Amino acid sequence: MTKRKFGLALSMVLAASTILGACGTAKDESTETKGGETETKTSDFSVAMVTDIGGVDDKSFNQSAWTGIKEFGEENGLEKGDGGFDYLQSTSDADYNTNLNKLVRRDFDLVFGIGFLMEAAVNEIAGQQPDAHLAIIDAVVDQPNVASVLFKEQEGSYLAGVAAALMTKSKKIGFVGGMEIPVIERFEAGFLEGVAAVDPNIEVDVQYTGAFDKAELGKTTANRMYSSGVDIIFHAAGGTGNGVFAEAKELKTKNPDAYVWVIGVDSDQYEEGTVGDTNITLTSMLKRVDVAVKNLSKMAMDGEFPGGETTVYGLTEEGVGLADSRGAIPDDVLAQIDEYSKKIADGEIEVSDTVK
């Protein structure tokens, strides 16, 4: 099957989430006045997701997807549970097939598999349940009843690399990845290119922990990096990245003058960096999984489920980018980052999706 790849502008996505269509079999939320009384109808569409092993409260990837599901449900008058919106959490990869099957059998109209690690499971269940509508984030499943969503993480990570290179004092920067899979390699590739674009002499320590749910591994890895002189760490490790924040906050608590920073991932992780009256979150590389989930759910509800297609969100589509630094990054540095951003959007800079 030939898959179509296309981008959706974030502004259009946000607008679309507020438009109530009337196609398909779903009943969209509407307000009617009968005899002077207002009657509200809610959608009978239902949507659910299966997390990967990072957990729904990983403060990153899975949590962003669940935020999108919840917001979609609440905006369309749905309640948590059967017939509305829900999730099942995976504690190991052995849970993927079981959880997907459970949600399909509970008659959810759309079921998401969150993460590259669920590619095989989604592919298998899609083949077994041809009438089910499935979606996967961060992988492509070539089935007519599966909608695939990818992101150009390398573009947002390039800007994170530029920010780190412009802000480092020690000229030593760290990257902490979770598992060595293509999606995390895109984070690494973009970050390394962004750093090198500013100063190719800056040293970047790259370490993979092999897990997305081991905060203790993130903490010990960050400890080694900061101890070696690294002053800024960008993590792309899901729940494991919480340990990176923990280590930086611990160092800042011991020495308020310590110059240590963390660049968050997927969601705006500013709150994770709070240390008393200060904060060690430099910025976060936003990956708008929440918007992608909401948009795809809206399409499916309106009878426009893009089965067999792949949607790609990049910088041009405003699907990736940097979060507000809240003053951590000076205006002159932000201006330089913005210049790089425009060059990527205009095609002047093409960021690699693999590490060279």
Supply the pLDDT for residue 4.
37
* % of the chain beyond a pLDDT of 70: 88
Q: How far apart are CA 82 and CA 293, in angstroms?
A: 18
Within the chain, all domains assigned CATH 3.40.50.2300 are found at 5-151+288-313, 153-286+326-345
Phi, psi angle pair for 27, to nearest 5°: -100, 105
Q: Quick count: other Cβ atoms within 10 Å of Cβ 142?
A: 13
CATH domain 5-151+288-313 topology: Rossmann fold (3.40.50)
CB-CB contact of 324 with 284 (8 Å): no
What is the pTM for the complete model shown?
0.85
Strands (E), the chain: 5-6, 30-34, 37-41, 47-50, 85-88, 110-114, 134-137, 146-151, 172-177, 203-208, 232-236, 261-266, 274-275, 278-279, 281-287, 310-313, 320-322
- Rounded Cα distance, 216 and 237, in Å: 12
User: What was the pLDDT predicted at 136?
Assistant: 98
Average pLDDT over residues 53-75: 92
Which residues neighbour 35 within 8 Å (Cβ) at sequence distance 6 or greater?
none
Q: Which CATH class is domain 153-286+326-345?
A: alpha beta
pLDDT category at 33 given cuts 50, 70, 90 is very low
Higher pLDDT, 117 or 25: 117
What's residue 42's pLDDT?
A: 62
SS3 of residue 343 by DSSP:
helix
Q: What is the per-residue pLDDT for 58? A: 85
Q: Give whole-number Cα distances, 146 to 113, 135, 329, in Å.
A: 10, 5, 41
In tens, the pLDDT along 238-296 reads: 999 999 999 999 999 999 999 999 999 999 999 999 999 999 999 999 999 999 999 99
